[in-house]
Amino acid sequence: MGKEIGVTVKKSEDFSEWYTQTVIKSELADYAPVKGLIVLRPDGYSIWESIKSSLDKKFAATGHRNGFLPTLIPESLLTKEKDHFAGFNPEVFWVTKSGEGELGDRLALRPTSETLAYTLFSKWIRSWRDLPLKINFWNTALRAEIKATKPFLRTSEFLWQEGHTVHTNSEEAQKEVTDILELYKKTVEEELAIPVITGKKSEKEKFVGAVYTYTMESLMPDGKALQMGTSHFLGQNFSKPFELKYADKENIESYAWQTSWGVSWRLIGGMIMVHGDDKGLVLPPRVAPIQVVIIPIYYSDEDKEQIEKVSKEIEEKLKNAEIRVQVDNREELKPGFKFNEWEMKGIPLRIEIGPKDLEKNQVTFARRHNRQKDNQTITGLVERVVSELDKIHNDMFSDAKKILEDRTSEVNTYDEFKSELEKGRLIKAPICDNPKCEEEIKEETSADVRVITSDSDDTSSKCIKCSDQSTSRPLFARGY
Partner RNA sequence: GGGAGCGUGGUCUAGCUUGGUAUGAUUCUGCGUUUGGGACGCAGAGGUCGCGCGUUCAAAUCUCGCCGCUCCCA
Give the footprint of RNA on this chain (CB under 7 A). 101, 104-105, 123, 126-129, 247-251, 253
Residue from 198, 167, 199 nearest 185 by CA:
198
Shortest spacing between CB 97 and RNA, in angstroms: 13
Q: Counting beta carbons within 10 angstroms of the beta carbon of residue 248, is it exposed (0 to 12), middle (13 to 18) or buried (19 or more)?
A: middle
Amino acid in the structure at residue 326 = Q
Residue from 448, 17, 429, 443 nearest 225 by CA:
448
Nearer CB in complex with RNA: 103/358: 103
Shortest spacing between CB 405 and RNA, in angstroms: 51
Q: Report the SS3 class of residue 477.
A: strand
Shortest spacing between CB 248 and RNA, in angstroms: 7
Shortest spacing between CB 250 and RNA, in angstroms: 6
Q: Counting beta carbons within 10 angstroms of the beta carbon of residue 124, is it exposed (0 to 12), middle (13 to 18) or buried (19 or more)?
A: exposed
Q: Is 262:227 a contact under the CB 8 Å cutoff?
A: no
* Torsions phi, psi for 65 (to 5 deg): -125, 150
Nearer CB in complex with RNA: 243/313: 243
Q: Is 80:117 a contact under the CB 8 Å cutoff?
A: no
Shortest spacing between CB 123 and RNA, in angstroms: 6
Give the span between the Cα atoms of 270 and 277, in whole angstroms. 13
- H-state helical runs in 217-350: 266-275, 301-320, 335-344
Nearer CB in complex with RNA: 32/247: 247
Nearer CB in complex with RNA: 144/247: 247
Nearer CB in complex with RNA: 80/154: 80
Amino acid in the structure at residue 367 = R
Nearer CB in complex with RNA: 118/265: 118
Query: What H or E segment, with its residue span, contains residue 434?
Result: none
Radius of gyration from C-alpha coordinates of the chain:
25
Nearer CB in complex with RNA: 122/311: 122
Shortest spacing between CB 419 and RNA, in angstroms: 58
Would you give the distance in Å from CA 236 to the centre of its chain?
Answer: 28
Nearer CB in complex with RNA: 96/251: 251
Nearer CB in complex with RNA: 166/263: 166
Shortest spacing between CB 247 and RNA, in angstroms: 4
Shortest spacing between CB 14 and RNA, in angstroms: 52
67, 122, 296 from 74: Cα distances, Å: 20, 17, 58
Shortest spacing between CB 125 and RNA, in angstroms: 9
Shortest spacing between CB 79 and RNA, in angstroms: 15
Query: What H or E segment, with its residue span, contains residue 447?
Result: none
Nearer CB in complex with RNA: 21/236: 236
Shortest spacing between CB 75 and RNA, in angstroms: 11
Cα torsion through 421, 370, 328, 352, rounded to 10: 170
User: What is the distance in angstroms between the CA of the first residue and the CA of the last residue of the chain?
Assistant: 35
Q: Counting beta carbons within 10 angstroms of the beta carbon of residue 169, is it exposed (0 to 12), middle (13 to 18) or buried (19 or more)?
A: middle
Give the span between the Cα atoms of 162 and 184, in whole angstroms. 12
Nearer CB in complex with RNA: 25/106: 106
